[in-house]
């Protein structure tokens, strides 16, 4: 049989006919006229090569084949309903793995409290924190479906991506307590000490260096590291200085900080996912936790 020639609505009418064993009542149940229900019965008889409903003494009765069709037909229609409009599964019962791509900032701020929250609200949701390769790679992963959520600095989203701003970050100059520059921090003392630069690609220059060069100034980059996580301990054990997002310094709690002595632009942080995941309950729940955690900072 060619399934493309089968009208699914015909099976809905057949289900009513087999339940009611009465054409008029079946018609009322599915919102058809009596002639339309009769025509549907004739089409069903042709499809199944059986009378399905036979006239008895003042009533109609199901044929043996019709009786045999009742249970599998109901199962089939229920499966179609679940496919098109699946029932909502409680968060506590969802079993799902979500892939999240983000740099170590903001991972420093969200991973531990996010996991603690999931243990209570959605214990079957597992997370994979993917290696960070930059915002362009994160966007591509969302488009390809190899990542489910991304936290980064994203330009205005194209139609296929949902993007929402979580916070606007600014930079501070961080150093250990008792640092020689702390008692008289200014542009000269800032540039007098070697700087720690965070770069996942091993860059030794940033837009800050171009800004300094435009002012006829330069800094010494004494150490380049791949993530923010190791910077606080390096600062605490040396006279080095680092320019860090303010929330990294606040989370550490054992560093002192100053506003940069020249204007430095901050940056917004965005949360993004593909629009095809808009109805994914687990994803939206994790996104809500991330947004709440970062907006509280």
Domain stops at, among 62, 84, 106: 84
Q: 276 with 162, same domain?
A: yes
Question: Mind listing the pLDDT tens digit for each residue in 157-168?
Answer: 666 889 999 999
Looking at residue 296, what is its pLDDT? 77
Looking at residue 229, what is its pLDDT? 86
Looking at residue 5, what is its pLDDT? 58
Looking at residue 112, what is its pLDDT? 93
Q: 62 with 118, same domain?
A: no
Q: Taking CA 23 as the corner, what is the angle to CA 17 and CA 27, rounded to the nearest 5 degrees? A: 80
CATH code, domain with 116: 3.40.190.10
Residues 6+ apart with CB under 8 A from 127: 97, 98, 99, 100, 114, 115, 118, 286
Q: 197 with 147, same domain?
A: no
Q: 161 with 133, same domain?
A: yes
Q: 145 with 182, same domain?
A: no
Looking at residue 3, what is its pLDDT? 55
Looking at residue 155, what is its pLDDT? 82
Q: 248 with 272, same domain?
A: no
Looking at residue 4, what is its pLDDT? 61
Q: 261 with 272, same domain?
A: no
Q: 206 with 182, same domain?
A: yes
The boundaries of the domain holding residue 206 are 171-265
Task: Quote the number of domains for the chain.
Answer: 3
pTM of the model: 0.69
CATH code, domain with 54: 1.10.10.10
Q: 45 with 184, same domain?
A: no
Q: Which residue ranges in the chain fall short of pLDDT 70?
A: 1-5, 157-159, 297
């Amino acid at each position: 049989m060619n399934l493309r020639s089968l009208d699914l609505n015909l099976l809905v009418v057949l289900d009513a006919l087999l339940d009611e064993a009465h054409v008029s009542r079946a018609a009322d149940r599915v919102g058809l006229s009596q002639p339309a229900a009769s025509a549907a019965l004739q089409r069903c008889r042709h499809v199944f090569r059986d009378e399905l409903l036979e006239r008895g003494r003042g009533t109609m009765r199901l044929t043996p084949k019709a009786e045999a069709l009742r249970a599998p037909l109901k199962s089939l229609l229920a499966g179609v309903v679940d496919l098109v409009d699946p029932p909502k599964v409680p968060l506590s019962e969802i079993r799902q793995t979500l892939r999240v791509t983000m740099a170590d900032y903001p991972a420093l701020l969200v991973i531990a409290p996010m996991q603690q929250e999931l243990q209570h609200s959605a214990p079957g949701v597992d997370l994979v924190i993917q290696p960070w390769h930059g915002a362009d790679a994160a966007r591509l992963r969302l488009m390809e479906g190899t990542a489910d959520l991304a936290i980064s600095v994203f330009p205005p989203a194209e139609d296929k991506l949902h993007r929402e701003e979580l916070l606007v970050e600014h930079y501070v100059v961080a150093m250990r307590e008792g640092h020689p520059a702390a008692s008289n921090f200014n542009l000269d003392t800032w540039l007098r000490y070697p700087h720690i630069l965070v770069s996942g690609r091993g860059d030794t220059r940033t837009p800050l260096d171009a800004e300094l060069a435009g002012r006829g100034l330069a800094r010494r980059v004494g150490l380049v590291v791949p993530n923010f996580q190791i910077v606080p301990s390096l600062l605490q054990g040396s006279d080095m200085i680092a320019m860090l997002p303010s929330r990294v310094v606040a989370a550490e709690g054992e560093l002192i900080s100053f506003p940069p002595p020249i204007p430095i632009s901050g940056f917004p942080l965005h949360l993004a996912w593909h629009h095809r995941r808009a109805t994914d309950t687990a994803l939206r729940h994790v996104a809500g936790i991330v947004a709440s955690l970062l907006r509280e900072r």
